[in-house]
Structure formats: structure tokens, C-alpha cells
């Protein structure tokens, strides 16, 4: 089965992992056809396991042992990521220089939400959600992005990682293609 691993915190907070090394870590535990896309921790691989929680735990445990810190792992298949991109609840949203469109990928099912769900400062809003993804907008205020992790973790009640929505579409395209990893300069700044 082909998987897309979305990793949280792989190259933030003082941690730096070269993608070549990260791909090697995936290969060390027997995962095949390993490729990566940009430095924010998006890894494509094949494995016969259909037990996603066990596989994610196996990867996260190996990364923790090798890197010395926790790296939460969120697994999706290509068809699941296609559904996320096709859902696109941002079609009617007018994008401005201070507005960002994001997807939060969760480990557990998202509880029912009364949408749109806005942050106390009204700088973030969850506008749509599926079982394991939440779609949100956030605004840059005074040149700074909001601290969206605490808002999302409280609202979604589970571990999560985020990607910009346009980047999510690029991750999907990279997952479909046969090519190797992209250049390190293609970084998904602003997400974790």
C-alpha cells in the first residue's frame, strides 16, 4: 500500500533533519519506495501493512529513537489526500496577502463542530471538517501568524499537523509522480 506520511515538527524548533537522512530512517525499518517532498516532513513510501495506527507508531518510535525527540506521524493514502484536495472548501474565500488557507490532519476522529468555529481573537476560523481533516483560515496580524496550534488542539481534541492548502495539493501531485525528492529550498514555511 502507498502511504503519505505527514510529520509534525521535523524541521522546526531548533531541529534540523536533512531529507536524505529522513528517507534513510524510513528505509531502516523496511519501508519501500521512499521519497520525500519539501523539508516540512512529507514522505511517500510503500508498506504492505493495513494497520495504520501500528505503522504510524512504528515510524514515530524509530524517528524518536534516531532523532532524540518526538515526531508525530499522520498517515494518509493517495486517494484520501485526493479527497481532501477535491473537497476544497476555500473556493469562495477571497485570498489576500494576510490570509492563509490551511488543512489540519488529525490522528483521531474530529468531534462534531459548530462551524464556522472562530478563535477568541477572530484571527482564525475552522470553516469545514471531515472525519480526520479540518480546513481553516488564519490571518497574519502585525506581521505575525496566530498561535494556531493551541486553538486547533483545543477545538479538535487530538494530535494534529498542518499544511497550507496549496502545499497539500502540491504534496498530492508529488505523491503521484515517479520523481525523486524536490530541492531543499522548497520549504513549507509557517506550518509545522
- Domain chopping of the chain, boundaries: 2-76, 80-168
145-162 pLDDT tens trace: 888 788 998 999 999 999
pLDDT score of 192: 46
* CATH ID of 2-76, from 3.20.10.10, 3.40.50.720, 3.30.70.1280, 3.40.50.300: 3.30.70.1280
Cα–Cα distance between 69 and 67 in angstroms, integer?
6
- Residue of 62, 70, 68, 65 whose CA lies nearest to 34: 62
Residue 178 confidence class, pLDDT cut points 50, 70, 90: low
- Residue of 79, 34, 41 whose CA lies nearest to 60: 41
pLDDT score of 137: 96
Q: What is the average per-residue pLDDT within 28-37?
A: 96
pLDDT score of 190: 39
Residue 161, Cα to own-chain centre: how many angstroms? 5
Q: What is the average per-residue pLDDT within 44-54?
A: 95
pLDDT score of 185: 32
6-32 pLDDT tens trace: 999 887 778 889 999 999 999 999 999
> In this model, does residue 184 exceed pLDDT 90?
no
58-116 pLDDT tens trace: 999 999 999 999 999 999 999 999 999 999 999 989 889 999 999 999 999 999 999 99
> In this model, does residue 187 exceed pLDDT 70?
no
Packing angle of the helix pair 52-67, 19-28 (nearest 10 deg): 120
What single DSSP character describes residue 134?
E
Amino acid at each position: 500500500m502507498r502511504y503519505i506520511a505527514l510529520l509534525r515538527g521535523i524541521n522546526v524548533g531548533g531541529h534540523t533533519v536533512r531529507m536524505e537522512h529522513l528517507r534513510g530512517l524510513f528505509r531502516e525499518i523496511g519501508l519501500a519506495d521512499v521519497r520525500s517532498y519539501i523539508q516540512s516532513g512529507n514522505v511517500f513510501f510503500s508498506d504492505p501493512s493495513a494497520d495504520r495506527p501500528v505503522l504510524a507508531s512504528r515510524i514515530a518510535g524509530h524517528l524518536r529513537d534516531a532523532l532524540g525527540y518526538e515526531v508525530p506521524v499522520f498517515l494518509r493514502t493517495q486517494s484520501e489526500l485526493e479527497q481532501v484536495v477535491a473537497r476544497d472548501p476555500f473556493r469562495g474565500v477571497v485570498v489576500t496577502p494576510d490570509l492563509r488557507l490551511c488543512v489540519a490532519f488529525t490522528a483521531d476522529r474530529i468531534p462534531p463542530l459548530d462551524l464556522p468555529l472562530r478563535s477568541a481573537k477572530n484571527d482564525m476560523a475552522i470553516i469545514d471538517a471531515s472525519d480526520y481533516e479540518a480546513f481553516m483560515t488564519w490571518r497574519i496580524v502585525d506581521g505575525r501568524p496566530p498561535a494556531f496550534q493551541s486553538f486547533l488542539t483545543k477545538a479538535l481534541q487530538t494530535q494534529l499537523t498542518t499544511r497550507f492548502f496549496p502545499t497539500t495539493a502540491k504534496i498530492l501531485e508529488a505523491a503521484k509522480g515517479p520523481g525523486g525528492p524536490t530541492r531543499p529550498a522548497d520549504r513549507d514555511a509557517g506550518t509545522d
